[in-house]
Amino acid sequence: MKLSITAISILRGNKPMWLAACQSLGVSKKTMYRYVADNDPVLTQASVLKVIREGSGLTDQEILEEEKATALTGR
């Protein structure tokens, strides 16, 4: 699982939500920038989902999306 484009956009555009997510993970703003840029799976932790849910009104289905499987063939 990873965050949806919608959730990432909302998180990037809402400084109080961004800071709350940093606090919930116990990381610096710089680390959070890296997590968001990489759409790191750590962003799907319950504490971050709660921050996004409460700050945006999005449902879990709107916040999360399945990661697409990559073929092992290299194509």
Instruction: Name the band, by pLDDT with cuts 50, 70 and 90, for residue 74.
Output: low
User: Is there a domain that residue 53 lies in?
Assistant: yes
* Domain of residue 29, residue span: 2-64
Q: Helix, strand, or coil here: 27?
A: coil
Cβ–Cβ under 8 Å, residues 47 and 24: yes
Q: Around Cβ 26, how many Cβ atoms within 10 Å?
A: 8
Rounded CA-CA distance 64/6 in Å is 9
Predicted confidence (pLDDT) at residue 38 exceeds the cutoff of 90: yes
User: Is there a domain that residue 71 lies in?
Assistant: no
**pTM recorded for the entire structure:** 0.83
Output the pLDDT for position 66: 86
**Total structural domains within the chain:** 1
User: Is there a domain that residue 73 lies in?
Assistant: no
Rounded CA-CA distance 71/10 in Å is 31
User: Is there a domain that residue 58 lies in?
Assistant: yes
Output the pLDDT for position 69: 58
Q: Pull the structure tokens for residue 30.
A: 């710089």
